[in-house]
Structure 1
Amino acid sequence: MDSMPINWEALDALIIDFAKSENLVEDSFSSSSPPSSPSPSSSSISSSSYHSRLIIRQIRRSLEAGDIDAAIDLLRSHAPFILDDHRLLFRLQKQRFIELLRRGSVEARDSAIKCLRTALAPCALDAYPEAYEEFKHVLLAFIYDKDDQASPVASEWSERRRLDIAGLVSTVLRAHLNAYDPVFSMTLIYLISIHKGFCLRQGISSPISDLTQRLLLEERDPPATPQDSLSEAPPFDEVDIQALAHAVELTRQGAVDSLRFAKGDLFQAFQNEICRMRVDVTKLDELVREYCVYRGIVDAGIASSSLSGIESPSKSLKVDQSVAGYSLSRDSSHELDFGASKTSDGEVSISNDHGRGSPEKNSDVASMQGIEVEVRYASDSTSNHEDCSTSGSHQPENLRVPQRSRTNVSAERSKRKRWRGRQDDLEFIPGVSCNQISKGISTHSLTFASKEKQASECLVVDANNVEDKYEIVLGMKELASKGMAAEVVEEVNAMDPNFFGQNPLLLFQLKQVEFLKLVSSGDCSSALRVACSHLGPLAASDPALLKSLKETLLALLQPDEDALRKGFPLHALATSLQVAIGRRLGIDEPQLMKIMRATLHTHNEWFKLQMCKDHFESLLRIDSLKEVNMPSLAAAATSKSNADSCSNGSSQVTISSSTRMVEDGSSLSQVSSRDVVCDENAILKVMEFLALPRADAIHLLGQYNGNAETVIQQIFA
């Protein structure tokens, strides 16, 4: 799983889009205005979707707190059409009645009786067939105490009902207001759910289980049911039904209901179901912030205070204790903690593949031509990549920083975004002054700015200072991403003469870049000297590099072409270099990178087993995350693609493998036969009638020449 190649630039684009969509960042670190003060850029970020998500979170919090009146007022102001649904209105009024009784005062009891007469009883008449029976049942709450767990209305008194009604209202509002989570959030939820299911079914121990369990919660919001639920189900395409059911683990009827609620729109139904899954937003923000600092998207000055395993050199912000302890879950859940925090792994990492361009330019990285990703050679398993670990290695107390990197620190930081956090949510918390927090952040920024000015005047960098380490690594990566390989080698050797001795593969790649750059400039003699002095000896010590060396030398045949631009992934090399130097300095890669590697690997393996293509990978941009640019000059390792794929349509066929594992009674036996062409309709028929996963249905069809009727008859015989 750790060797899964990923397009980190595509992930950067998703992360930047997520941070902007949730208004988590501000563009300029050097801005003189307080971080929380509204600006034109932050106002433009607050789109209708973002505003709708804020409203949904506020309504959800009110419902979870039992303040039904406040929730209804918000619905009446922002989404009055929800109250036109008498089924939902009845449930809200019933919960309002219970909450009034829960207060226990005489006035509240009188209000509860008034609620019965004026609101609950009228709704019960036409909400749904069972509503009037539920209305009569809830009247027992007058008789039985809320603490009586044996009463017939114990479930009505349960505070779990608050969470259920809050989740249901959130589900309905998201769909009607088109206020779905950002794409990255949905992508991560989807990948983690597949990863957990794959590991469970295959009996594999997940290397990221501690992260996924904390991030993706077990419970889901209740599903929204269509108003015409009693009518006959529309004739949805069985391909869509099965795709949705297996993607989000629904029953067939659940998938049909979800499609009916979405009026047959498969992708809208999928988004509805994905957003029902509950995620710890506080943990998600922590992972995103850690990644953004590592990639140089946001400045480490403020964000580093909560990076895993790292204490900020600046003082942590102090806020009201009641605010710091505030936490919820899902889209209403945020933990406000401006102090230092640590995670179990204590890992951070760095790699900004866009170079140090402007944040706006970085947000468009997915559309750049020649998408480049991290390249792993076949010799990775035998190379000394593991030697990058800092355990047992000598770390000098002080590191000499190259003049170029040292003088550009302030300029580069000014281009990075500043982490803002979910400050807009503070307005929903009583007794919290956003102005006080803004003032505290502004003071913190000025303190850090003066510290930065002092640091820029130093010639020697303290190896124990995390921010200085970040600047070293980001500076090296910047040079590598620009193709300045000779400068990188010189400066890395000046910093740590033993580095390339432990990482010969990185040295080989950098010398490849230097060779190609010289060839492109027409200086073939200098290029050959580089090849003779470095590439040849390195390939001789590692035969796995010999093929890459031969292909590199082919650039001499076409010296006028820009071989470097066309033939080598500079940003991928910059990422690999950054990871290695970061580990050498004691900065590990962020946890989010580990999650993406593991989940994308299991996504590949899962759909290999299913023998089809993921219907939703384009929607969630999973395909772009897997767009690995493997140029011939660095193609010593290539990932095996899934040859079996499927698409919508009745004419689709799937080739069943000639060697299969089929179930025979209680045991599995391996059967060899000729390849069998399986019609898509036959696959779906077997899946539906026998309630089997797609892979099992294909395997069974392979034993009966692709005849679905024969398979079904044999099973029920």
Structure 2
Amino acid sequence: MDDMDSTPVNWEALDALIIGFAKSENLIEGLLGSSSPPSSPASPSSSSSSSSSSSSSLSTSSYHSRLIISKTRRSLEAGDIDTAMDLLRAHAPSILDDRRLLFRLQKQKFIELLRKGTAEGRDAAIACLRTALAPCALDAYPEAYEEFKHVLLAFIYGKDDQASPVANEWSERRRFDVAGLMSCVLRAHLHAYDPVFSMTLRYLISIHKGYCFQQGIVSPISDLTQRLLLDECDPPATAQESLYEVPPFDEVDVQALAQAVELTRQAAVDSLRFSKGDLFMAFQNELCRMRLDVSMLNELVCEYCVYRGIMDYGLASTLVLEPKVNQPEPGWSSSRNFSLEVDSSVNKHSDGKTSINMGGSPENNADVSSKQGTDVELRYACEPSSNHDDCSTSGLNVSENPRVLQRYRTHGSGQRGKRKRWRGRDDDQYGVPFDECSRQELSTTTLVSSTSISKEQQGSGKHSILDVNSRVDKYEIMLGMKDLASKGMAAEVVEEVTAMDPNFFVQNPILLFKIMQVEFLKLVSSGDYSSALRVACSHLGPLAASNPALLKPLKETLLALLQPNEDALGKGLPLHALSTSLQVAIGRRLDIEEPQLMKIMKVSLYSHDEWFKLQMCKDRFESHLRIDSLKEVNTLLLTSVGMSNLNGATSTLGSSQVTISSSTKISEDGSSPNQVSPRDVGCDENAILKVMEFLALPRADAIHLLAQYNGNAEMVIQQIFA
């Protein structure tokens, strides 16, 4: 379970997926149709402008197409067949040329007219039989006329007779089956697939459920996944051709689709036929059949956007919070102090101090710290105070360091202007009224749930570092420090964090080590080797000496001195991942819990890795769903440190830790280094597919069987049928 919770994730890639989802679904004000920024008028090429316009147009078109699908679904689920057919005639008239679908709609209309229980309804049902249903039954499909005669029994047996031969026809479940089928057909016809993030979430959760079931383990996120991914799926849409003809499809595609979305081989063939052989379109069709709880997904996305600073929560907070963003208290300076020397009063709770000099040339440091000068002094508490051994923040008060709150109130007022407002779903999209008040209520509920104070603190009357009524200020402090870390401003991060809580890095030495790695590499990159060595001697060395697990990362960090011509702060240093680790740790010190979506992604990505190790192959669809980008956590310089194994105080930080051992990388064929790959047992890919096809077995089981018979597929099949 700890491994699941400590899976590294590229949070920057997830941010991009979430923003794309919000744009596609028009959930945040001002984002619809703006998935690509407009090109500058002075652009030398018009291609980028046309590409941006095309992307915007496609985004808007897809959104409106999904609205049409949603309206059609709602009409059918409510039994309003006429309205649904009017929508189809207006937006996708060719669908009604399919006699199979038309027959299903007319049959449901007949039942809905009888369901009214009035004389007028009965007369209208008879008229529907004569003019629409009977003629359509003659050539819809071979069984249609028998179904037509069977549904006539609805005249005799009422809707309340559960023992009648037409109880299934009367069932309201039929409405949802028809609605789901038409949604699948419309989606493929209009090419209005759900946003990538929505499909990715479905896929990862379904794999996680399958992995937990096969391994017999209890999912740590079962309470979320059971509510988010519903058990029921929409019925599959099938092509008009016969289902029994020989499929002209590559068996590799058939098995890949069947294994990915848990279909029988015949169902996978039918799905490929409906998509005219397009594997990825068939895959999307099958994923979109899975039903998500839309309202819960909205809440998860809203919570994540607030936490990551993507969305403005000021509007939501006004109902229960009263942040004083632009009203600094008397005596506070509104200008930001860029000195990296921590006020001695900040450290008055610590018995020990360690100071280092992180000098650098003005031109080398101007872009990172905005500090002119050659010597910068940084002091921080390195040992817990004898009077404050308890790690709890409940005894701390921001009044001891008022400049911290002032800085981030000032910082926050500027940052908020760049954030978006939560808009929510349209009234006509999912039938849920979202007026301004309810939008505020949703955002407020999400915000309060993620920043709630523990019952113990509420009962005792104690507060966190900030006052209970200053949740907005808490967020600005957390997001401000994350922003500094993402820019590589390591010295300022240490200053600000220490000013907020002198004991923070005492309880989080691994995080301090990684922040100082950033400073070291920044100085190496700028050519200031003497200052870099001072950082290593004053910070990295003592931290590694107190924790042997840091010795290997220290050695690998020092190797940067051997590569003076390379950009040490380039792709080798995942600042965004480090900033997220800092955000999580700071947030928890401020009683701000991680968003639930973070936990879902960590656990499900772990399951995805483990599942395909068991299958001994690579996932053909991971790049299509951006799963590969979510796993792209660069670990070149921030080498592996098992956070949960080092000390209890930093174990929670491992949930968004950026490090992972290079030895855990999956080999090219998708297998774990400690597992047997198909090549190791002499299994040919064609033999694997043959056993999977003939015996209807999962890939891993087919490989294990072949291993017992030296990779001979014919011998395996003979033994099974003998």
TM-score, with structure 1 as normaliser: 0.77
The one of 2, 5, 26 aligned to 1:2: 5
Is this contact kept in 2: 1:125–1:131, CA < 8 A?
yes
State the distance in 2 between where 1:259 and 1:440 align. Answer: 42
State the distance in 2 between where 1:572 and 1:655 align. Answer: 25
Aligned to 1:13: 16
Specify the SS of the correspondent of 2:600: helix
State the distance in 2 between where 1:443 and 1:18 align. Answer: 22
Query: CA offset at residue 218 of structure 1?
Result: 0.5
1:657–1:691 distance in 2 versus 1, CA, 3 Å? farther
Query: CA offset at residue 398 of structure 1?
Result: 2.9
1:227 aligns with 2:275: no
1:502 aligns with 2:507: yes
State the distance in 2 between where 1:197 and 1:230 align. Answer: 28
Is this contact kept in 1: 2:639–2:661, CA < 8 A?
no
Query: CA offset at residue 613 of structure 1?
Result: 0.7
1:626 aligns with 2:650: no
Partner AA of 1:96 in structure 2:
K
1:516–1:463 distance in 2 versus 1, CA, 3 Å? farther
- Could you tell me which runs of 5 or more consecutive residues in structure 1 were left unpaired when the two chains were aligned: 29-39, 306-310, 316-383, 385-389, 446-459, 647-653, 661-672
State the distance in 1 between where 2:149 and 2:470 align. Answer: 67
Bigger shift: 693-702 or 497-506?
693-702
Is this contact kept in 1: 2:622–2:628, CA < 8 A?
yes
Aligned to 2:586: 581
Residues 336-356 of structure 1: CA deviation (Å, up to 9, x unaligned): xxxxxxxxxxxxxxxxxxxxx
Query: CA offset at residue 440 of structure 1?
Result: 8.7
Bigger shift: 229-238 or 692-701?
229-238
Aligned to 1:194: 207
Aligned to 1:279: 292
Is this contact kept in 1: 2:398–2:500, CA < 8 A?
no
Aligned to 1:313: 321
State the distance in 1 between where 2:407 and 2:317 align. Answer: 24
1:304–1:231 distance in 2 versus 1, CA, 3 Å? farther
Is this contact kept in 2: 1:398–1:463, CA < 8 A?
no
1:248–1:129 distance in 2 versus 1, CA, 3 Å? same
Residues 416-456 of structure 1: CA deviation (Å, up to 9, x unaligned): 11111112536967xx7x8xx359979999xxxxxxxxxxx
Bigger shift: 228-237 or 211-220?
228-237
Residues 242-291 of structure 1: CA deviation (Å, up to 9, x unaligned): 11111111111111111111111111111111101111011111111111
Aligned to 1:477: 482
1:427–1:61 distance in 2 versus 1, CA, 3 Å? closer
Query: CA offset at residue 107 of structure 1?
Result: 1.1
Bigger shift: 635-644 or 531-540?
635-644
Query: CA offset at residue 24 of structure 1?
Result: 0.5
Is this contact kept in 2: 1:678–1:701, CA < 8 A?
yes
Please list, as runs of the form range in 1=range in 2, the aligned pairs for 1:121-140 lying within 5 A after superposition. Answer: 121-140=134-153
Aligned to 2:168: 155
The one of 130, 149, 158 aligned to 1:145: 158
Aligned to 1:710: 715
State the distance in 2 between where 1:505 and 1:443 align. Answer: 39
The one of 60, 63, 68 aligned to 1:50: 63
Aligned to 1:643: 667
State the distance in 2 between where 1:546 and 1:109 align. Answer: 83
Is this contact kept in 2: 1:477–1:574, CA < 8 A?
yes
1:571 aligns with 2:576: yes
Specify the SS of the correspondent of 2:231: strand
Please list, as runs of the form range in 1=range in 2, the aligned pairs for 1:452-463 lying within 5 A after superposition. Answer: 462-463=467-468
Query: CA offset at residue 552 of structure 1?
Result: 2.3
Query: CA offset at residue 86 of structure 1?
Result: 0.8
Is this contact kept in 2: 1:568–1:634, CA < 8 A?
no
1:535–1:391 distance in 2 versus 1, CA, 3 Å? closer
Partner AA of 2:425 in structure 1:
R
Aligned to 1:24: 27
Is this contact kept in 1: 2:77–2:179, CA < 8 A?
yes
Query: CA offset at residue 46 of structure 1?
Result: 5.8
Partner AA of 2:661 in structure 1:
T
Specify the SS of the correspondent of 1:4: coil
Partner AA of 2:275 in structure 1:
A
Please list, as runs of the form range in 1=range in 2, the aligned pairs for 1:390-409 lying within 5 A after superposition. Answer: 392-398=392-398, 400-402=402-404, 404-409=407-412
Aligned to 1:614: 619
1:534 aligns with 2:539: yes
Residues 490-526 of structure 1: CA deviation (Å, up to 9, x unaligned): 1111110110010001111111222222333333333
Specify the SS of the correspondent of 1:420: coil
Query: CA offset at residue 404 of structure 1?
Result: 4.2
1:186–1:136 distance in 2 versus 1, CA, 3 Å? same
Query: CA offset at residue 223 of structure 1?
Result: 0.5
Specify the SS of the correspondent of 1:218: strand
The one of 682, 686, 693 aligned to 1:681: 686
Please list, as runs of the form range in 1=range in 2, the aligned pairs for 1:66-215 lying within 5 A after superposition. Answer: 66-215=79-228
Is this contact kept in 1: 2:322–2:469, CA < 8 A?
no
Residues 557-597 of structure 1: CA deviation (Å, up to 9, x unaligned): 44564323354221111111110000111111111110011
Specify the SS of the correspondent of 1:163: helix
Partner AA of 2:608 in structure 1:
H
Please list, as runs of the form range in 1=range in 2, the aligned pairs for 1:658-673 lying within 5 A after superposition. Answer: none
Residues 472-500 of structure 1: CA deviation (Å, up to 9, x unaligned): 00000111111111111111111101100
Partner AA of 1:621 in structure 2:
R
1:98–1:401 distance in 2 versus 1, CA, 3 Å? farther
Residues 353-390 of structure 1: CA deviation (Å, up to 9, x unaligned): xxxxxxxxxxxxxxxxxxxxxxxxxxxxxxx9xxxxx9
Query: CA offset at residue 45 of structure 1?
Result: 8.1
Query: CA offset at residue 710 of structure 1?
Result: 1.0
Residues 49-68 of structure 1: CA deviation (Å, up to 9, x unaligned): 11110000000000000111
Aligned to 1:59: 72
Aligned to 2:556: 551
